[in-house]
Amino acid sequence: METIKQTTQLSKRITRMAESATIKMAQLARDLKAQGHPVISLSLGEPDFDTPQHIKDAAVKALADGYTKYTPVPGLIELREAICTKLKRDNGLEYSPNQIVVSNGAKQCIANLSLALLDEGDEVIIFTPYWVSYREIMRLGGGNPVHVNAGIDQDFKVSARQLAEAITPKTRMLIFSSPCNPTGSSFTPEELAELVAVLEEHPQIIVVSDEIYEYINFTSQGHVSIASFDSIKDRTVVVNGFSKGFAMTGWRLGYLAAPEWIAKACTKMQGQFTSGANAFGQMAAAYALTSNMKPTQDMKVAYQRRRDLLIDALSKIDGFKVNTPPGAFYLFPDIHAFFGKADVDGNVIENADDFCEYILHHAHVAIVTGTAFGEPNCVRFSYAASDEILKEAASRIAKAVAKLK
């Protein structure tokens, strides 16, 4: 009786929210591991590196210096100034501290935007494959997700024509990540210019550019932000954070750079929710942005080596269609060639969910179904793991899929 009552008292909001598939897969992998199976987890989007020592030291110093109190809601001025310096240095973008809002991770920045900018029924174009949380966060704010899909044959990058076709009078926002989770794809400046040309025709659309993988970009050109196009900068929001480039996932620190009216609205929202991010972490984050970037560059070099290693290993397995993504730390191979095949007990792989389950149980490797990212023909590998682990994972997968008939 108690259970029924509790269930009916849950809000409609939480009832219609999907659970994060990446977190679910990580839990399944932990459960199998706890039963004694040698599980390799390539399911979470988390660097395997530790936070660089000089950033940890800065946090310890900030604690000793008394940074233990509430900070201004949008963040300490020291950090907001450091973010402005970084945006100018790395991206050629001019912002002032009153256009910056620091939050508990980039995830909260996106939640602030959804809650502050959307009304019930507003359409949000989400370039698909998309990061798992966009859809649910946008729905939380009342938004209607509109998925615009690009498959592996277009390197998972939505074209300007596709964008133009998806826009309606109700479109209020566009959100995408570049470099992208889950595909590792990254828009070139030319491709961004084509998207911008479409957006110029629709001034009601706010562009949310999630650039959290900025520092994990293997192109010689490096990262280019869509905010560097002046014609749309006054309605573009850059979201970024410390989790990926500085291996600071557990610190929960992210930020957005936006027109002042949007920054103010997000600050108002955050003022009622969390009052802002932790004080000593913010001081360390300011130091991270303005001090030695070598550890960040070294991590990028390691990711690129691992990407090449995993591409090489997976492309030798029949049935895997792999592209070469220029950023982030994910591969997103198309595995639909396995659909319709059966394991030794006659269980048929109907879709990517079945494939991941088969790989988890028969290769003891945890990867995530593409369904969670809006692309049911693919699966996501996170290669934020050592070379040895990646080699072992690929070898186990090759043996497991060879048994599918």
Ligand X SMILES: Cc1ncc(COP(=O)(O)O)c(C=O)c1O
Footprint of ligand X (CB under 6 A): 45, 105-107, 131, 177, 181, 210, 212, 241, 243, 249, 254
180: tokens are 């992208």
**Shortest Cβ distance from residue 51 to ligand X (Å)?**
13
Q: Which is nearer to ligand X, 328 or 360 (CB)?
A: 328
DSSP label at residue 92: -
Q: Which is nearer to ligand X, 236 or 351 (CB)?
A: 236
**Shortest Cβ distance from residue 2 to ligand X (Å)?**
35
| Strand extents, DSSP E, 108-252 | 123-128, 144-149, 171-177, 206-210, 236-241
**Shortest Cβ distance from residue 129 to ligand X (Å)?**
11
Q: Which is nearer to ligand X, 97 or 182 (CB)?
A: 182
**Shortest Cβ distance from residue 132 to ligand X (Å)?**
8
Q: Which is nearer to ligand X, 45 or 145 (CB)?
A: 45
Bridge-based pairing state of the strands 236-241 and 365-366: unpaired
> Residue 390: what are its φ and ψ, rounded to 5°?
-65, -40
Task: Please answer whether residues 325 and 154 qualify as being in contact, where contact means their C-beta atoms are separated by less than 8 angstroms.
Answer: no
**Shortest Cβ distance from residue 211 to ligand X (Å)?**
9
367: tokens are 């990867």
Helix (H) / strand (E) element for 366: namely strand 365-366
**Shortest Cβ distance from residue 56 to ligand X (Å)?**
17
Q: Which is nearer to ligand X, 26 or 363 (CB)?
A: 26
**Shortest Cβ distance from residue 305 to ligand X (Å)?**
21
Q: Which is nearer to ligand X, 128 or 351 (CB)?
A: 128
**Shortest Cβ distance from residue 401 to ligand X (Å)?**
27
Q: Which is nearer to ligand X, 44 or 314 (CB)?
A: 44
Q: Which is nearer to ligand X, 45 or 52 (CB)?
A: 45
Q: Within 10 Å of residue 54's Cβ, how many Cβ atoms?
A: 14
Query: CB nearest ligand X: which residue?
Result: 105
Task: Please answer whether residues 373 and 133 qualify as being in contact, where contact means their C-beta atoms are separated by less than 8 angstroms.
Answer: no
Bridge-based pairing state of the strands 236-241 and 206-210: parallel
Q: How far apart are CA 356 and CA 168, in angstroms?
A: 36
Nearest of 155, 121, 159 to residue 141 by alpha carbon: 121
| Strand extents, DSSP E, 158-214 | 171-177, 206-210
User: At CA 278, angle to CA 118 and CA 67, rounded to 5?
Assistant: 145
Nearest of 45, 47, 41 to residue 247 by alpha carbon: 47
